[in-house]
Structure 1
Amino acid sequence: MDNTNQRKSLINGEIGLFLRGLIIGKVLTLMVIGGLLWWLLKPNLLSRNSVNSSSAQNINSINNANASTFQTVANVPPGSFNYGGSTAWASIRQLVDSQIQNDRPELQLRYVDPTNASPGSSSGIRMLLDGKLDFAQSSRPLTDEEQAIAKERGFTLEQRQVGMDGIAVVVNPSLKVSGLTVDQLQQIYLGKITNWNQVGGTNLPITPFSQRPEDADTLIFPSNSNLKGQALGSNVQYIYSATEAVRQVSKTPGGVYYASARSVVFQCSVKALPLGQTSDKLIPPYREPMVSPEQCPSQRNQLNTEAIKNGSYPMIANLFVIIKQNKGREQQIGDAYTKLLLTDQGQRAIEQAGFVSVR
């Protein structure tokens, strides 16, 4: 009986060893076959990966080659040229124009301030008409009067859009008001609305600040408006620049000012108001949620570029290069500068400067 059990145990052990050996052998065989197949297919796999990588590089190269840059613009006149105009363009002059001159060293751009007026779109266009600038930068379209003056002097003016901005309204941070309609803003500057309680705020006199109309950088009365040309209210206080206006509004509880959104939305000492065509649809010029003055400058409000680009923001300021059409060097540099800003590189730089591109 014991011998029989021993023989069964030996037989079972031998069967187990045999099965384990068989399994190990099959595994080794599969590994050898798999290694052989990998070795045979390796060149094709490497070739396919190389082709895919090469194709991706070629696509990127083609895209980069098709992208227009400052270097690809032809007929850029060499020399030094005077320009000026809108204060809203300050960040473009600082960022974009410096890139242009780095890439096109044959071109030198010299910003010129007006002598007897505050800097702005109007004064820049006036200087262009007077022959003091080679081209001008504007945050508003040309007026009929400016076109008429140019015609009297034997040339015409052309406006070429290169970017977009909004017109923002800023008030003292302590003011409690939810926003304004465009009509309410216009009535404030015409002197028809003089207290914040007339627009849902507290009982506090309104102190509007503005550039003088003849030097205006941006306009809240469009050329096709029946309000165009009306005198501003007697309570309007005139200032030289947006920097001065922001300073005055920050220390005047009832103060209000309008300017390029790019110039004022980022400021810590004032509060930008939502605007709308109607009071039930007010759109902020900043991306929500609003950054409070207490959070600034560690955080800053950013421009609501989406609302400006899709037109839902009610007050848009288009950025124009104003070109003198006289078949001379002024026209040549105006055309070239416009083409530089409308390249892919130029449009990206305009967005980096805080504006909205048009391409």
Structure 2
Amino acid sequence: MDNTNQGKALIKGDVAIFLRGLIIGKVLTIMVIGGLLWWLLKPELASRNNADSSNQALKPTSNAASTFGSLADVPTDSFNYGGSTAWAPIRQVVDSQILSARPELKLRYLDPVNSSPGSSSGIRMLLEGKLDFVQSSRPLTDEEQAIAKQQGFTLAQRQVGIDGIAVVVNPSLKLPGLTVDQLQQIYLGHLTNWNQVGGPNLPITPFSQRPENADTIIFSSNSDLKKQALGSNVKYVYSTTDALRQLSKTPGGIYYASARAVVPQCSVKPLPLGRTATDFVSPYREPLVSPEQCPRQRNQINTEAIKNGSYPITTNLFVIIKQNKGEEQKAGDAYTNLLLTDQGQQAIEQAGFVGVRQ
């Protein structure tokens, strides 16, 4: 090789060495600067990561579909329960599904011996130790809580559903509806003729369960009206079945009960209710099914109005649980939790009520 070619080769080698050194130097510089920046920003990054983790933990997680079979802590024993007649469809539809899925939980429904069945008599039986938990369509009273406290325990009420309170009259009565105040005044004995509320000249005959056995209420628990005695013209009945039988024979009769119990009946007519006379809402889905069309067709409950609050009288469905850390409390808690599963809430709506987990 001549001197010229040797010189060119040496120059190329020096350039390559120079470029490699330049590249390596830049890479090292970037690594040093990057490491320095990471070291300086480390506390802030750590803080950000911790905040992100905390935010992630605070986000509500979607409830996985739950069934009767997936629930834990269901006691294996026999338990007595009872209470509200409004719960009868739940006992037929929901409780039968529970007993099929969880046969280890043996439930036996008991009626009272010396009084009509209902929320009040059921709670009395619970306080007397005759029941392990109770199905109620009204909240606990201060008196019931006081009796429990005297016996060394407390009572808890856990809501599992919502029911509408429907008013029914004899099918022959022509009336567009009643306000809640008019309904209350009828049962207090202050309104005694249908012509006082826009109806015919006909005496009003109110039917009701006795207050001490009442299954449903039309007076707010914090209302002064609740403390007043019912009118002397009120005729007391043993049960809703008894009331419907008498109402069908009484042109001026009126009765109120669980919408699920009375709206589909053929022998009576459900009446629209309103907070005022200009906002009547039907407890049934329009149009009204006449007695002549029933039982081929039956009135269906207006669950949408109950759900959205436009229907003026609703009541909550509670499981009443004895808080004594014993087997009764375990049974009441387990039954409540079963009703609050996805499957339980769906079954409650199948039974004609509104669930609490919308």
TM range (shorter): 0.7 to 0.9
Q: Which runs of 5+ in 1 are unaligned?
A: 1-62
- The residue that corresponds to 2:154 in the other structure is 156
Give 1:181's match in structure 2, choosing from 179, 182, 189: 179
CA distance in structure 1 between the partners assigned to 2:125 and 2:269 by the alignment: 33
- The residue that corresponds to 1:306 in the other structure is 304
Equivalences for 1:250-329 in 2 at 5 Å?
250-329=248-327
Does residue 240 in structure 1 map to residue 238 in structure 2? Answer: yes
CA distance in structure 2 between the partners assigned to 1:291 and 1:249 by the alignment: 18
Equivalences for 1:190-209 in 2 at 5 Å?
190-209=188-207
Displacement of 1:199: 0.4
CA distance in structure 2 between the partners assigned to 1:290 and 1:261 by the alignment: 14
Displacement of 1:64: 11
Report the 3-state secondary structure (helix = DSSP H, G, I; strand = E; otherwise coil) of the residue aligned with 2:134. Answer: strand
Displacement of 1:148: 1.0
Deviation per CA, 1:228-278, whole angstroms, max 9, x where unpaired? 121111100000000110111111000000000000000000000000110
Equivalences for 1:101-120 in 2 at 5 Å?
101-120=99-118
Report the 3-state secondary structure (helix = DSSP H, G, I; strand = E; otherwise coil) of the residue aligned with 1:235. Answer: coil
Report the 3-state secondary structure (helix = DSSP H, G, I; strand = E; otherwise coil) of the residue aligned with 2:226. Answer: coil
CA distance in structure 1 between the partners assigned to 2:266 and 2:179 by the alignment: 23
Give 1:219's match in structure 2, choosing from 198, 217, 221: 217
**Structure 1's 64 and 339: CA in aligned 2 closer, same or farther, altered over 3 A?**
closer
Give 1:88's match in structure 2, choosing from 75, 79, 86: 86
TM-score by length of 1: 0.81
TM-score by length of 2: 0.82
Does residue 133 in structure 1 map to residue 127 in structure 2? Answer: no
Displacement of 1:335: 0.4
Q: Return the letter of the residue paired with 1:279.
A: A
**What is the root-mean-square deviation in Å for CA atoms of aligned residues?**
1.1
Report the 3-state secondary structure (helix = DSSP H, G, I; strand = E; otherwise coil) of the residue aligned with 1:133. Answer: coil
Report the 3-state secondary structure (helix = DSSP H, G, I; strand = E; otherwise coil) of the residue aligned with 1:246. Answer: helix
- After TM superposition, the runs of 4+ consecutive aligned structure 1 residues lying more than 4 A away are none
CA distance in structure 1 between the partners assigned to 2:103 and 2:355 by the alignment: 25
Percent identity (aligned): 79
Displacement of 1:319: 0.5
Displacement of 1:132: 0.6
CA distance in structure 1 between the partners assigned to 2:162 and 2:208 by the alignment: 21
Displacement of 1:290: 1.0
CA distance in structure 1 between the partners assigned to 2:307 and 2:140 by the alignment: 21
Q: Return the letter of the residue paired with 1:126.
A: R
Deviation per CA, 1:68-96, whole angstroms, max 9, x where unpaired? 00011111101110000000000110111
Deviation per CA, 1:173-210, whole angstroms, max 9, x where unpaired? 00011110111011100100000000000000000000
Report the 3-state secondary structure (helix = DSSP H, G, I; strand = E; otherwise coil) of the residue aligned with 1:258. Answer: strand
Report the 3-state secondary structure (helix = DSSP H, G, I; strand = E; otherwise coil) of the residue aligned with 2:143. Answer: helix
Equivalences for 1:330-341 in 2 at 5 Å?
330-341=328-339
Displacement of 1:317: 1.2
CA distance in structure 1 between the partners assigned to 2:155 and 2:308 by the alignment: 28
Q: How many residues align?
A: 296
- The residue that corresponds to 1:72 in the other structure is 70
Displacement of 1:124: 0.6
CA distance in structure 2 between the partners assigned to 1:111 and 1:269 by the alignment: 28
